[in-house]
Amino acid sequence: MSPGHDLTFHSMGSDIRLIVGPALLRGLPSPADAAARERRYIEDFARRLSRFRPESELCAFNADRLREVPTSPLLRTAVAAGLWAAQRSGGLVDPTLVGELERVGYEHSQDGGTPASLRAALAAAPEPSPARARPEARWRQVEIDDEHETIRRPPGVRIDTGGIGKGLAADAVAHRLRGYTRFVVDCGGDIAVGGVGGQIDPFAIEVEHPLTGECIHTLHVMRGGVATSGMNVRIWKRPDGTFAHHLLDPSSGEPVWSGLIGATALAPTALEAETLSKLALLTGADGARHALAEHGGVIVHNDGDVEPIGAIAASGGRGSLALGSAA
């Protein structure tokens, strides 16, 4: 039986990590070859769906002035994932906030830049207030037509796949690796794990504190998704001296200051975990407790206090696998 393989590379503006155990069946690619194959898949996924690459299919779609645009299965799937996340979150995880993101300073990729000080941003932040959904709900005007291979939306409505795309990619790669004894797919903090080996020896995943980087909890996961959203990675200082980050209140188009600086969610899939982690951070402590109650999670308050939620509140342990960063 061949040994497993551990591969780390950079894509989607994040570090990507793939861990692939031995194959269950003869004839499958070796773990190293499978990891290399999935690297190519993720890099193609990022190239085609990046908001920051003018040549990408997503940018071409956003720039198209037609109401109905021919699209590939990949783009339709990514947009469908964004619409699902909007529906799941009551409109708070809104994929149509491209103009708002650009206005607050997220017009270009933050990849490789040095984040502003989260502590300084918190010192200058307004009183905590949970995000609210946009009343007009532009995302409801987006329609996917798989039969005719098109997406319809009012001209000018643009889509950002963002973190939802990372969750979708992690789940897609996990599906492609289902023939291996165990696997980890970490797309910048959106993590999918699985394989029969996880039933015997669960994966231990560290949750990092957004202020200190220290491990604040260890999650023991047999299969499914884990995702972390936080303010510490993509935060910057605007020309007027105020601070901004990429998690917006749809009702105002401005960065949310909900009283939380980080949220980690567990769920059956990485896409759902990504959606729940963002929902938790956008709604503040009370909303987060509700959002994370079913599958569990961890939230970090502005003052640095850590609060486990749901079934994991009584769990713990060490011997963990450090994966992902807040996104």
User: In 66-220, where does DSSP find H-type helix?
Assistant: 73-88, 98-103, 118-124, 162-176, 197-200
Span 271-287, mean pLDDT? Answer: 97
Alpha carbons 197 and 199: distance in angstroms, whole number = 5
Strands 5-11 and 14-20: antiparallel
* Distance (Å) of CA 13 to CA 92, 111, 142, 296, 314: 23, 5, 26, 27, 34
Can you give the pLDDT at residue 112? Answer: 77
Task: For 185-194, write each residue's pLDDT tens digit.
Answer: 999 999 999 9
Question: 């699902």: which residue's tokens?
Answer: 84
Which tokens in the block code for residue 218?
């260890």
| Number of independent structural domains in the chain | 1
| Cβ atoms of 134 and 91 closer than 8 Å | yes
Identify whether 17 is part of a domain: yes
Q: Specify the pTM.
A: 0.93
Please give the average per-residue pLDDT across 277-301, as a whole number. Answer: 97
Q: What are phi and psi for residue 75, nearest 5 degrees?
A: -65, -40
pLDDT grade for 4, boundaries at 50, 70 and 90? confident
For 211, the token pair is: 């202020």
Mean pLDDT across 72-95: 97
Give percent of the chain with pLDDT exceeding 70: 94
Residue 326 confidence (pLDDT):
45
pLDDT of residue 44: 97
Region 234-257 average pLDDT: 95
Alpha carbons 175 and 269: distance in angstroms, whole number = 11
Identify whether 325 is part of a domain.
Answer: no
Over 50: is that where the pLDDT of 229 sits? yes
CATH at residue 139: 3.10.520.10
Using CB atoms within 10 Å of the CB of residue 114, give its burial: 0 to 12 exposed, 13 to 18 middle, 19+ buried.
Answer: exposed
Q: At what angle do helices 73-88 and 162-176 cross, to 10 degrees?
A: 120
Q: What is the mean pLDDT of the chain?
A: 92
Q: How confident is the model over 16-42, as pLDDT tens digits?
A: 999 999 999 999 999 999 999 999 999
Confidence of residue 108 (pLDDT cuts 50, 70, 90): confident
Considering the domain boundaries, does residue 323 fall inside one? Answer: no
The model's confidence at residue 313, banded by pLDDT at 50, 70 and 90, is: low
Distance CA 110, CA 162 (A): 12
Does the residue 27 lie in any domain?
yes
Question: CA distances (Å), 98 to each of 58, 64, 94, 277, in order?
Answer: 12, 15, 10, 20
Three-state secondary structure call for residue 324: coil
Residue 163 pLDDT level (bands cut at 50, 70, 90) = confident
- Of 181, 220, 216, the closest CA to residue 319 belongs to 220
Residue 233's pLDDT is what? 87
- What is the arithmetic mean of pLDDT over 167-187? 97
Phi, psi of 216 (to 5 degrees): -110, -15
Cα–Cα distance measured from residue 13 to residue 181, given in angstroms and rounded to the nearest whole number: 29
Contact 71, 64 (CB under 8 A): no
Mean pLDDT of 150-178: 95
Residue 24 lies in a domain: yes
Rounded CA-CA distance 64/235 in Å is 30
Handedness of CA 209, 288, 268, 85 (dihedral sign): negative
Tokens coding 130: 């949970």
Predicted local distance difference test score (pLDDT) of residue 317: 37
Which residue type, as a one-letter code, is found at position 139? W
The pLDDT-based confidence of 280 (bands split at 50, 70, 90) is very high
Tell me the pLDDT tens digit for each residue of 116-136. Answer: 999 999 999 999 999 999 988
Q: Which domain does 288 fall in, by range?
A: 5-314
Give the CA dihedral 256, 257, 258, 261, nearest 10 degrees.
110
CA atoms within 13 A on the CB side of 211: 14
pLDDT recorded at residue 3 = 63
